[in-house]
Amino acid sequence: MRIIAGSLRGRRLHPPANLPVRPTTDLARESLFNILNNYVDYEECSVLDLFAGTGAVSLEFVSRGVKQVTSIDINNNCTEFIKQTARQLDVNNIQVVRADVFDILKRANRKFDIVFADPPYALGNLEQLPDAVFESGVLNEDGLFVLEHPKEYSFEEHRYFWQHRIYGKVNFTFFADGLEEEDDAKE
């Protein structure tokens, strides 16, 4: 696993084998950021990474120059790995929090420009995540929520659905309130 672009480009992450994660593949991450590049001024963004796992997505955002990233994961080994990696890479604009994502969303008191979530595919209430994010008020106006999920889920009927992309076995659904979809954005 490596950081694709930006100031940390090419740096490798070496998570321990015992982390309970399914990291987003390099190809899928690169594709995700190719989409975001068309809509996001990273230097003006704050990011919330839910179910952060190895922190690869958080660190990709940092590498691309975001102001600040908050990484949330309930697993202590995951949060410690992200903290350790951030220290090794001399990254100081990432805040790592060990907590339940749904608890954090219920008591959110900050707003973010981008919320990314890569929950465990077996998460029992995965389909409730988009509503939990929008109801929490955690997104800034014109903010973007990106959900990585298995193919068994479709969010095209969600009121904030914006677009859906598939990269191999990885599905990304983008949600926004007010963004206009490009004609060729759906695949």
Structural domain boundaries in the chain: 29-176
| Short-list 37, 77, 82, CA closest to 57 | 82
Dihedral sign computed on CA atoms, order 132, 58, 39, 168: negative
Which pTM was predicted? 0.91
Pick one of 1.10.287.110, 3.30.70.2190, 2.60.40.10, 3.40.50.150 as the CATH number of 29-176: 3.40.50.150
Q: How many CA atoms lie within 13 Å of 63's alpha carbon, on the beta-carbon side?
A: 23
Quick one: pLDDT at residue 184?
41
Chain position carrying tokens 């995965």:
126
> Residue 154: which residues within 8 A CB-CB, separation 6 or more?
164
Quick one: pLDDT at residue 180?
55
Q: Are 68 and 93 in contact (CB under 8 A)?
A: yes
In tens digits, what is the pLDDT along the chain, a chain of 187 residues?
889 988 999 898 888 787 778 777 778 888 999 999 999 999 999 999 999 999 999 999 999 999 999 999 999 999 999 999 999 999 999 999 999 999 999 998 899 999 999 998 888 889 999 999 999 999 998 999 999 999 999 999 999 999 999 988 899 999 998 665 443 443 4
The Cα–Cα gap between 69 and 132 comes to: 20
Residues, the chain: 187
The Cα–Cα gap between 47 and 70 comes to: 6
